[in-house]
């Protein structure tokens, strides 16, 4: 089936064609007809399968074919992070370029005055993070009693971030008679319970339930001691020059330390985490998206939902703490029909985490065989000059003090 066979407006079809899309992905093929029929949908599909377009395209058609006489929000999309809210808004704008609809993303970390001004002029599609949305509701600047369509995107991550109470509180502000679309990359009992409390007679769509990660990704893993990981990251970057890489670490302090280690060997990189303000995060994402910076070191919270074209390699510098985190990390590459690689560094301390991750997949992650000689060569031939333990401890303390200072200022 092709996009032009869907019963959607010619303007949307024209936008799809200009963007170069011809055939829908599995999640789009199964979701679009159900949403067009105004059915509630509960969709489970791995990242990188085109979930945003799966709900944006039919929503744009439904809103454009039924005019509204009021200025209040008609479609509310809830997203867990700033970056994801901005990206979803971008998708709506791309596909709905020729439609007379108004789109707005609101999130914290920026001045709310311009957002309030746009809301007062009228918005058809509002993409919001929970915090900023409830701020504006409580101040009386945002009313949600005319919402026709409610979308919860990356629902599993919203629960991870503790937004379950916010989602339940949201139900007091939106009409009972509405269309609800619930999208998630993973599902467990908590998510299932929440989903069925929100949707009515939903169409359930589950893509690739046995393997929650894209088949376009090659997975591999190397056993590396914790203190040696920086040498292997340096080696990997030098052997894959000009490739766009997303490096995942466990904490924001660790992200800064890894960037500093790369700087010592004259490798340019940047970090994204919650201690950066919105302006810094926007600049970082823009540089990574444009290819001005090819190495981005990220924490799980900050990178969730990042949709950057052409990320060739995802590196699990630290093994993720859950199978769900692994799914979301590696889903940043191999998106759509692109190919990608996911490479993990596993230390002795992380083997239990690895076992838990592999138990959720149909086959174990392929091991990279490193002989003692190969391992020693990588460590010995690094450009990182040896440092005594006192210097390293001093550096770690300085980093911790910087973060504490920044937090106090906030």
Helix axes 82-95, 10-18, angle to 10 degrees: 110
Domains and CATH numbers, the chain: 3-206 (3.40.50.300), 217-408 (3.40.50.300)
Confidence of residue 306 (pLDDT cuts 50, 70, 90): low
> Quick one: CA dihedral 23, 24, 26, 29, positive or negative?
negative
Predicted confidence at residue 402, as pLDDT, reads 57
For residue 359, pLDDT over 70 is answered with yes
- List C-alpha distances in Å: 127 to 36, 115, 132, 228, 360: 20, 12, 11, 42, 32
pLDDT at 327 over 90: no
Question: How is 351-408 classified by DSSP, letter by letter?
Answer: HHHHHHHHTTSSSPPEEPP--HHHHHHHHHT-SSPP--HHHHHHHHHHHHHHHHHHHH
Read off the tokens for 287.
């540089």
DSSP code of residue 74: S
**Which residue's structure tokens are 């701020």?**
135
Quick: pLDDT tens for 226-257. 999 999 999 999 999 889 999 999 999 999 99
Which pLDDT band, with edges at 50, 70 and 90, does 282 fall under?
confident
The pLDDT value given to residue 89: 94
Q: 7-40, pLDDT tens digit by residue?
A: 999 999 999 999 888 889 889 999 999 999 999 9
Q: What is the pLDDT of residue 390?
A: 52
> Given this model, what pLDDT does residue 124 score?
95
Give 150-190 pLDDT, tens digit per residue. Answer: 999 988 878 877 788 888 889 999 999 999 999 988 778 88
Q: What pLDDT does 209 receive? A: 47
């Amino acid at each position: 089936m092709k996009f032009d066979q869907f019963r959607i407006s010619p303007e949307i079809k024209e936008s799809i064609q200009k963007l170069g899309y011809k055939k829908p992905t599995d999640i789009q093929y199964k979701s679009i007809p159900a949403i067009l029929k105004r059915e509630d949908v509960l969709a489970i599909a791995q990242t990188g399968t085109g979930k945003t377009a799966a709900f944006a395209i039919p929503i744009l058609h439904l809103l454009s074919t039924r005019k509204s006489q009021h200025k209040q929000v008609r479609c509310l999309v809830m997203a867990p992070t700033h970056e994801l809210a901005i990206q979803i808004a971008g998708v709506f704008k791309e596909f709905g370029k020729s439609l007379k609809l108004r789109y707005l993303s609101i999130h914290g970390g920026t001045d709310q005055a311009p957002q309030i001004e746009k809301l007062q002029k009228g918005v058809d599609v509002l993409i919001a993070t929970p915090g900023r949305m409830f701020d504006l509701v409580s101040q009386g600047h945002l009313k949600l009693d005319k919402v026709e369509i409610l979308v919860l995107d990356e629902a599993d991550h919203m629960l991870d971030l503790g937004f379950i109470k916010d989602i339940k509180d949201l139900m007091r502000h939106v009409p009972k008679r509405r269309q609800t679309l619930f999208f998630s990359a993973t599902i467990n009992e908590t998510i299932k319970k929440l989903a069925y409390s929100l949707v009515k007679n939903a169409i359930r769509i589950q893509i690739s339930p046995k393997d929650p990660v894209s088949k376009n990704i090659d997975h591999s893993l190397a056993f590396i001691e914790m203190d040696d990981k920086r040498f292997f990251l340096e080696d990997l970057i030098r052997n894959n020059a000009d490739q766009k890489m997303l490096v995942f670490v466990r904490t924001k302090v660790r992200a800064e330390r890894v960037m500093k280690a790369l700087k010592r060997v004259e490798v340019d990189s940047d970090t994204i985490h919650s201690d950066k303000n919105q302006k810094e995060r926007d600049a970082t994402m823009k540089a990574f998206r444009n290819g001005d910076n090819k190495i981005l070191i990220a924490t799980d919270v900050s990178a969730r939902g990042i949709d950057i074209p052409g990320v060739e390699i995802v590196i699990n510098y630290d093994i993720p703490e859950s199978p769900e985190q692994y799914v979301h990390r590696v889903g940043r590459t191999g998106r759509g029909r692109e190919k990608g690689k996911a490479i993990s560094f596993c230390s002795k301390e992380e083997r239990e985490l690895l076992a838990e991750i592999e138990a959720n997949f149909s086959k174990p992650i392929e091991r990279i065989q490193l002989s003692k000689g190969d391992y020693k060569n990588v460590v010995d031939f690094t450009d990182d000059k040896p440092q005594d333990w006192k210097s390293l401890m001093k550096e770690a303390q300085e980093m911790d003090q910087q973060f504490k200072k920044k937090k106090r200022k906030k």
